Amino acid sequence: MAAPRVRFAPSPTGFFHVGSGRTALYNWLFARRHGGVFILRIEDTDTERNREEWVEGIVEAMAWLGMEPDEGPYRQSARAERYRAAIDALWDSGYLYACDCTREAVQARTPEHATPGYDGFCRERGLSREGNALRFLTPDVGDTQVHDVVRGAVTFRNETMEDFVVARSNGEPLFVLANIVDDRDMRITHVIRGEELLPSAPKAILIWRALDEVAKTDAAWRAANDLPVWAHLPTLVNEQRKKLSKRRDPVAVESYRDQGYLPEALRNYLALLGWSPPGGEEKVPLEVLIENFALEEVNHSPAFFDVKKLTHMNGEYLRELSVGEFVERVRPWVDPATERAAGRWVPGTAAPPPWPPECFDAGVFLRLAPLVQERVAVLGDAPGLVDFVFLSDPPFDETSWAKAIGGDAGAVALIEDAIGAFEHTEWSASALRDATSAIGERAGRKLAKAQAPIRVAVTGRTVGPPLFESLEVLGRDEVLRRLRRALECARAT
């Protein structure tokens, strides 16, 4: 195959959606696989719905996911001239006609049960261009076929295709026109995008062929006889098999980044939404994805965007990091103040850690890091696992207290024994474990049962990183202080 040219062409109307992430990724993988060119094109002709911050969001999310474009970002807003020229040429060649019908008027003329859409009312009226919308005169007979790599040949009967609008009454081009003019000008060979855009493909083909006709006599237009290859990717659905919705489902790539998903994990997971790497492996290195990605293997049935599976995969990626890398990457969540001061990125929508920034101690965190790395599903879980170390008092968790201290008749005696033993024992995790074990034996308890009140007294919760390593890091004085304080409270109740 000659080097393909593909484009990702988002409209900047909201947060960067995971579905857009999947579309961008498939384009990018395809380009990388075949030594092609990956283009980013911002389709920002809808001035009412576009916002600059969404454009930045797109560019940042793509950089974060490691899919920087080879060309672009191009912006449709900078190419208005070119669309106007296309509209002029199509008008002059008789492909367009002017229409002044309001939506209401069209509706009023449409009998019930009739196919909705425009009825061709203005076709023969010969209205002038000025101040009117322009419609493309679609053929009444025959078919338009979309040859789609994912869905095979999809046939549209021309009689069911309405004369669609290509320019508004103020002259602004509509999506389908700008989109296809760009695909021609940018020599796009493969259009890889979401399946909701399939209905616009036959319209694009009609415009494409019309411009090929125009090109025969007008040097401003290059004949581009080969249509692009189409690939409409399956819809992403949620657990209820409903199309992912911005309102209902967590779909913003930004929010996954802020929660502490690793870009390599999200990218790997997105790759599976419609395609399977060879051998059915799910966790696959990027090189393997690139080497094997095949558009013709993309599945057409809806793909389930399974947050649980993504989270699981993220955990696996986290576990694979070296401790040094983990510490590096978790920093924006555990020490955002320092990161921000150094001008580095911090998760904008994540809650800050619950301790005062000056109480964070990087050396102490480093000692806890291997324990934390084993237990987090996302980087944003880290502060909740180490907060008891950096807060001056353990956090209070009512359920934990009630379970392990308030509701345990033997807890007071156990804590007393622990204080007695911990005053003298050697201060290492293993010695602390042995001491607790011995206390438990005297009370007729297994280690897990014996350590529960100690854990809640010192860390505030029944669950957390391994206890004895945590005690070692906290130090004797602080552990004793917390045990004594818990004892006072327990006796008071």
Alpha carbon distance 398, 19 (integer Å)? 40
Part of the chain binding ligand GLU (CB under 6 A), chosen from 8-16, 248-256, 271-279, 310-318: 8-16
Q: Cβ closer to ligand GLU: 11 or 459? A: 11
**Interface with ligand GLU includes 72 (CB under 6 A)?**
no
Cβ contact 237:305 at 8 Å: yes
Part of the chain binding ligand GLU (CB under 6 A), chosen from 6-14, 264-272, 342-350, 368-376: 6-14
Alpha carbon distance 23, 251 (integer Å)? 14
Q: Cβ closer to ligand GLU: 27 or 259? A: 27
**Interface with ligand GLU includes 182 (CB under 6 A)?**
no
Question: Angle between the 467-474 and 362-375 helix axes, to the nearest 10 degrees?
Answer: 170
Q: Cβ closer to ligand GLU: 11 or 451? A: 11
**Interface with ligand GLU includes 179 (CB under 6 A)?**
yes
* Interface with ligand GLU: number of residues (CB under 6 A): 8
Neighbours of 151 (CB within 10 A): 17
Q: Which helix (H) or strand (E) holds 469?
A: helix 467-474
Alpha carbon distance 75, 383 (integer Å)? 41
Part of the chain binding ligand GLU (CB under 6 A), chosen from 7-15, 208-216, 246-254, 364-372: 7-15
Q: Which single residue is written with the structure tokens 């593909």?
A: 6
Which candidate in 243, 246, 309, 446 is catalytic?
246
Alpha carbon distance 21, 24 (integer Å)? 5
In the complex, what is the shortest distance from the CB of residue 193 to ligand GLU, in angstroms, rounded to a whole number? 4
Is 309 marked active-site?
Answer: no
In the complex, what is the shortest distance from the CB of residue 93 to ligand GLU, in angstroms, rounded to a whole number? 24
N-terminal to C-terminal alpha carbon distance within the chain:
78
**Which of residues 10, 21, 69, 332 is near ligand GLU by CB under 6 A?**
10
In the complex, what is the shortest distance from the CB of residue 213 to ligand GLU, in angstroms, rounded to a whole number? 22
In the complex, what is the shortest distance from the CB of residue 204 to ligand GLU, in angstroms, rounded to a whole number? 8
C-alpha to C-alpha distances, 429 to 93, 369, 391, 474, nearest whole angstrom = 84, 15, 21, 11
Q: Which amino acid is at 148?
A: D
Alpha carbon distance 376, 381 (integer Å)? 6
Alpha carbon distance 177, 166 (integer Å)? 6
Q: Cβ closer to ligand GLU: 197 or 253? A: 197
In the complex, what is the shortest distance from the CB of residue 90 to ligand GLU, in angstroms, rounded to a whole number? 19
Q: Which amino acid is at 12?
A: P
Maximum distance among all alpha carbons in the chain? 101
In the complex, what is the shortest distance from the CB of residue 273 to ligand GLU, in angstroms, rounded to a whole number? 17
Q: Cβ closer to ligand GLU: 43 or 469? A: 43
**Interface with ligand GLU includes 467 (CB under 6 A)?**
no
Interface ranges with ligand GLU (CB under 6 A): 9-11, 43, 179, 191, 193, 197
Q: Which residues are catalytic?
A: 246
